[in-house]
Amino acid sequence: RRKLWSKFEYYLGFILQFIYSCGETMMNPVETIMVKEKRVGPSSELLCNSESDFECGSDTESEMCSEDVSYESTTYINDPIHGMLEVHPLCKAVIDTLEFQRLRSLKQCGISHFVYPSAVHTRFEHSLGVSHLALQVIRKLKQNPNCEISETESLCVQLAGLCHDLGHGPFSHSWEQYVQEKTGEKYEHENMSIQLFDYLIRENKLNDSFQRYGIDEEHRKFIKDLILGKPAEYKTLKPKSYLFEIVANKQNGLDIDKYEYLMRDSYFFGIKIDPNFGRYLTGIRIIEDGDKNEHIGYRDKLESHIISIFKQRAEMHDKAYKHKVCLRIETMLLDALSLIEDDFKISIEENSEVKKYCLWEWHKNLKAFLQLTDQLFETILFSTEKSLSKAKEIVLRILNRKHYSQIYEGTLNNLTAGNEQLNEELKQIEKRLSEKYSAKFCCRLKKLELAQSSNDEECCDPLNNVWFINKESIVYKIDRQKLDPALWLPEQTRCTKLYVFCSKNLQEENRNEAVQTIEQEVRLISQNF
C-alpha cells in the first residue's frame, strides 16, 4: 500500500505540475518566446533580439541611449493587427529618433475618437504596420519569375513605408485644411515627410548607419520618391517602376498604406470589414503594359476582391471618417484654430537669430513643426492667454457635447466636391446666412469618391487603372462600362451630400426660414452646374 501511495503521489505531482505550466502558457502565450519586455517611450512594445534566442536585451537607460548601440540584429514588435512585426536594424535606428517618436502623439484618425471612443490609435503604429506590409509584398514579389529585387531596394521600400507619414500635422487632415484656409497655400504632408526624413538622418547622425547598409545619397533620393510615389531618373540606380506602386500608388490608390489603415482603423472603430491582406498577397504579380513599363497587377481571380476594397474604403468614409458628427466636430475645431490670434507664436533660433512663427507658419520651420502634435488641443483648453480665449470656448463646447446645430442635410447630384466654383458659391451662402442671423454658418460637403490616389481630381475612376492577368498570361484592365455600379458601389456613395451647420441654436421660425433659403440656393446651384 505504501508503494502504491508513493507512486500515486509521484504521478499526481507530475500531473499537477503539467497542468500548472499549461495554465501559465494559456494565460500569457507571448511569454513562451519573450523573456523580457523592453519599453520604448510612453507606450511599450515587446522587443526581442533574434541573435539571443528571442531574449530581449537590457532595459538600462545607458544602453538604450548610448550612441554605440548596435543595430546589427532584427527586432520584433508585437502588434494587434499583424502579430509579430519584423523590424530591420536600420528601421529600428529610425524608429528610435525624436522625429519618428513624435508620431505617438498624432492620432491616426484625427477627431474621430469623439464619436468612436476606441479610435485613439496613432500614426506611430500605423507606420510600423506599413513598413511590415512592405516587407511582405517584397517577399511575395520575389517569387515572380525573373524578379530581381536587391536587399538594398527591399530596405528602401521598408524605410519609405516607415517614414511616409512623418509630415502629418495634428488632427490628421484637418490641419492641412486649416493651413490652406488660413494661407491659401496647399499643405502636402508627403513633401513635409521627405524634408523630415533628411532632417532625421542629419540630426541623429545616422548617415554612417545608412551607409553601412548600402544606402547612399542616391538611395535616399529613391526612398523619398517612393514616399511621393513618383518614379524619377537616377545616375546609377535602375529601380523597377512597380516599386513606386507599393507604398504610394498614384495609378489607382491600391497600396499598402491604404490596406494598413483599413485593417487598423476598422479594428479600432469596431466596424466589421475584411480587407484580407492575405488574399491580396496570393494574387499580386508584376506585369508589363504595352509600353514595357512594369506595374503591380493581380491574378484575374482577384477581381471581386479588388472591387471589395474600394467598397470597404467607401464604407469606412461613410460610417467613420466622414460621419456627420465627425464633420460637425471638425468644423468646430477648424473654427477654434482660425480664432487663434496672431500673437500666439513660437520662437525658434535660426543662425543665431530668433524668429517667431504664427501657428499656421510652424510648418515652415522643421524645429517648430516637430512641436505640433494633438497636444495642441489641450494647450488651447488649459491656456490662460487672451490670444486663445475665443478658441478655448469652442474647444470646451466640443468636450461638453454642445456641438453646432445641423440646419440642413441634402443631396447635390452630379456635382464634384472639389469644384472651385461650387466651393465659392457655398462660401457666399455661408456669408449671407451668417450676416442675416448673426451666427456662424458653415457648409460642408461629403462625397465618397472611389478615387484613391492623392490626385483624386485627376483619377476619377481608379478601377480603370488596375491591371489583371489571367492563366494565359493575357494582361487586361476591367471594362468599367460593362459593370453595373449598383453591384459594387453603394447608392449613398454616388452623390455629394451637403451639410449646413450653425454655431448657435436658432429659434424654430428662423430655422425654418434658413432651411428654405438653403433649399432655394441648392436648386439654383444645381441649375447652374
Mean pLDDT of the chain: 82
Measured in Å, how far apart are the chain's first and last C-alpha atoms? 99
- Check: CB of residue 176 under 8 Å from CB of residue 190: no
Site of grid cell 513599363: 293
- Check: CB of residue 41 under 8 Å from CB of residue 101: yes
Amino acid 311: pLDDT? 86
Amino acid 12: pLDDT? 64
Residue 54, pLDDT > 70, answer no
- Amino acid symbol at 158: Q
Q: Give 485's contacts (C-beta < 8 A, 6+ positions apart).
A: 494
Residue 454, pLDDT > 50, answer no
pLDDT in tens, 40-49: 333 334 344 4
- For the chain, what are the domain ranges? 2-29, 33-69, 77-322, 324-402
**Distance separating alpha carbons of residues 410 and 273, to the nearest angstrom:** 27
- Check: CB of residue 131 under 8 Å from CB of residue 91: yes
Burial of 407 (0-12, 13-18, 19+ CB in 10 A): buried
Look at the chain and count its residues: 529
Amino acid 53: pLDDT? 35
| Per-residue cell: 490 | 453603394
Q: 301: helix, coil or strand?
A: helix
Residue 95, pLDDT > 90, answer yes
Q: How does DSSP assign 114-168, residue by residue?
A: GTSTT---BHHHHHHHHHHHHHHHHHHHTTSTT----HHHHHHHHHHHHHTTTT-
> Phi, psi at residue 345, to the nearest 5°?
-130, 165
State the pLDDT confidence band at 489, using cuts at 50, 70 and 90. Answer: low
> Among 126, 189, 219, 363, which one carries the catalytic annotation?
189
Q: 425: helix, coil or strand?
A: helix
Considering the domain 77-322, what is its CATH architecture?
A: Orthogonal Bundle (1.10)
State the pLDDT confidence band at 343, using cuts at 50, 70 and 90. Answer: confident
Residue 79, pLDDT > 70, answer yes
Share of the chain above pLDDT 70, in %: 79
State the pLDDT confidence band at 486, using cuts at 50, 70 and 90. Answer: low
Least confident of 80-84, 167-171, 255-259, 410-414: 410-414
- Tell me, yes or no, if 403 is annotated catalytic: no
Q: How does DSSP assign 428-453, residue by residue?
A: HHHHHHHHHHTS-EEEEEEE--S--S
State the pLDDT confidence band at 521, using cuts at 50, 70 and 90. Answer: confident
